[in-house]
Amino acid sequence: MTEVDNAAIRREGMSMAGMFEKYGLIVFLALLLIIAAVTSPAFLGPQNLVNVLTIAAPLGMVVIGQTFAILVRGLDLSVASLMATVAVLATAFKATDDSVIPLIFVAAIILSAMVGLLNGWLIAKRGVSPFLATLATMIILQGARFAYTGGAPISTLPPGMAWLASGRVFGIPVNLLALGILAVFAGVLLHRSRIGRQIYMVGTNPRAAFLNGTSPERITILCYVLSSVCAGIGGLFLLGYVGTVSNWVGQGYELDSIVAAVMGGVALSGGRGTIVGALLGVVVLVVISNLVLLLGFPIEMQEVIKGVIIIGAAAFYRQRLM
């Protein structure tokens, strides 16, 4: 059975639609880069490219998680709220010493996993639609967070948190390294393991997956846990970048992460898409934002362009895959 599935996946990867789907985005990205390079020679300088990617790293982490949720025919609206909640949790230790950072990470991952479990339980076991379940979680987290902070921003953070955003290991920015590790882990899980195949199966046809001996419920819950954990980690890295915890850290990431994943070819109908594609979607999204600024458009133009692109990308993949 597994062999058949593999064959099907491989065949799909080599079909015309698959080729187009894969390389369409790369061609689009190349076009964007050429426009950027022509407009501003500084754009393709290594410094600017690293800067652009560094800013995108937390979003990349969230997108990896979001991909899992979308693959099982869902979506996760609670990621941004969770990012801010994790950021507030990080300040709750009131620590000024770097030795607390590992503890912060452990606590953040545990909290995120619990939120993911709640989402997954509501969706898989209670049959609540992913939209409503994650919406409810989002609002609850938001309320709890505000009730704790009273709405005021906090900046009691170990100084080492800033290193997450600006530090380098062997010349590579720490957050890009972390994103890379997360991506490899997610990629191996998704594309090289049994669980990954089960995720695609559940996303394509939950009934068939069930008859094959896979528990769609457990796979769905796992995907929402992964989504939340990735968002939680992304929240900590974003916190390192912004330095101060406002209650709105990560605002907009829920929509941006969905936009990036959809642009990267992750189908909202489930069962289709890859980690690499989703990350390419992130790159395209940040390059567009950067390009809007380089071209001297007002910054609000980013919103307009983002909106047009999300509709266009969804329509594009829809046409190709029908």
Partner 1 sequence: MSAIVATMRRNRLLPNYMVVLLLLAIIIVAGTLISDRFLTVRNFSFLFQQMVVLGLVSLGQTFTILIGGIDLSIGALAGAITVFVASFLDWRPDLIWVAVPVAMMLGAGIGAINGTLSVFLRVHPLIVTLGMSSVIFGLTLMYRKQPGGSVPIVFEDIAYNNFMGIPITAYALVAAFAIAGVWLQRTGTGRMLYFVGGDEEAARLNGVPVRRVKILAYALAGFCTSLAALFLVAKTGVGDPRIGLPLTLQSITPVIVGGTILAGGRGGVFGTFLGVLLVSILNNLLNFAGVSSYWQWVVQGLIIIIAVGIYRSDRRGG
Residues contributing to the site for partner 1 (CB under 8 A): 75, 122, 126-129, 131-133, 135-140, 142-147, 151, 255, 258-259, 262, 268, 298, 300-311, 314-315, 318, 322
The sign one gets for the Cα dihedral 196, 269, 123, 226 is: positive
How open is the CA angle 312-314-320, to the nearest 5 degrees?
Answer: 100
| Rounded least distance, CB 161 to partner 1, Å | 25
Tally the C-alpha atoms within 13 A of residue 171's C-alpha that lie toward its C-beta: 2
Q: CB of 63 within 8 A of CB of 278?
A: yes
Q: CB of 152 within 8 A of CB of 246?
A: no
| Rounded least distance, CB 184 to partner 1, Å | 29
| Rounded least distance, CB 129 to partner 1, Å | 5
| Rounded least distance, CB 29 to partner 1, Å | 20
Tell me the backbone φ, ψ of residue 172, rounded to 5 degrees. Answer: -100, 135
Burial class (CB in 10 A: 0-12, 13-18, 19+), 294: middle
Nearer to partner 1, 45 or 307 (CB): 307
| Rounded least distance, CB 18 to partner 1, Å | 20
| Rounded least distance, CB 146 to partner 1, Å | 4
Tell me the backbone φ, ψ of residue 266, rounded to 5 degrees. Answer: -80, 120
Nearer to partner 1, 183 or 310 (CB): 310
Nearer to partner 1, 89 or 182 (CB): 89
Nearer to partner 1, 129 or 166 (CB): 129
Instruction: Tell me how far apart the alpha carbons of residues 48 and 119 are, in angstroms, rounded to a whole number.
Output: 38
Q: CB of 114 within 8 A of CB of 108?
A: no
Nearer to partner 1, 144 or 208 (CB): 144
Nearer to partner 1, 159 or 252 (CB): 252
